[in-house]
Amino acid sequence: MRMPDFLRVLTTPVVSVETKTAILDEVLDALDIGQPTRRFVHVVQQHYRMEHMHDVAAVYRELVDRSLGRTRARVEVAGRLSDQERRQILSEMSVVLGAEVVASFEDNPDLLAGFRVQVGSKVFDGSLVGEVDRLSRETTME
């Protein structure tokens, strides 16, 4: 993934610190960002760590999710799902995981049928491709 232009400007050594601070202030003003967050972002920028903001945001989101008792998942599906089907999958996942699930859904026609769910490092594969793969491994083990 390519770094967005905004982040590239804030991380390049050819742009002066003063210019970076002015650009950052302009963006923070436009987004109406409050003082605690504003000070934090400036400290990160002053210590030349803006390239880590994506990771900082991801960890912060994990902490917020954990405090609210929810977990995030990535769901790959072989075909388009209706809103009802998505809600049903989220409901079942919430029961299995014991937490509210916030999921991103992605189309993946390579699965042929079914779906694959990733929650953290765990993968639940209910796809046709996954089943064929499991069967072929069982056959070669015998």
Q: What are 73-98's pLDDT values in tens digits? A: 888 888 787 889 888 888 888 888 88
- Name the DSSP letter for residue 33: -
19-45 average pLDDT score = 90
Greatest alpha-carbon pair distance for the chain in Å reads 67
- Report field, pTM of the whole predicted structure over 0.95: no
Residue 32: per-residue pLDDT: 92
Computed over every residue of the chain, the mean pLDDT equals: 83
End-to-end CA distance of the chain: give it in Å, rounded: 42
The DSSP bridge partners found for residue 75 are 105, 117
Residue 12 sits at the vertex; the CA angle it makes with 40 and 24, to the nearest 5 degrees, is 35
26-50 average pLDDT score = 90
Rounded-to-integer distance, Cα 20 and Cα 11, Å: 9
Residue 1: per-residue pLDDT: 33
Residue 2: per-residue pLDDT: 47
Residue 109: per-residue pLDDT: 79
119-137 average pLDDT score = 74
114-142 average pLDDT score = 74
Asked whether 78 and 109 are in contact (CB, 8 A), the reply is yes
- Give the residue extent of every domain in the chain: 5-64, 70-141
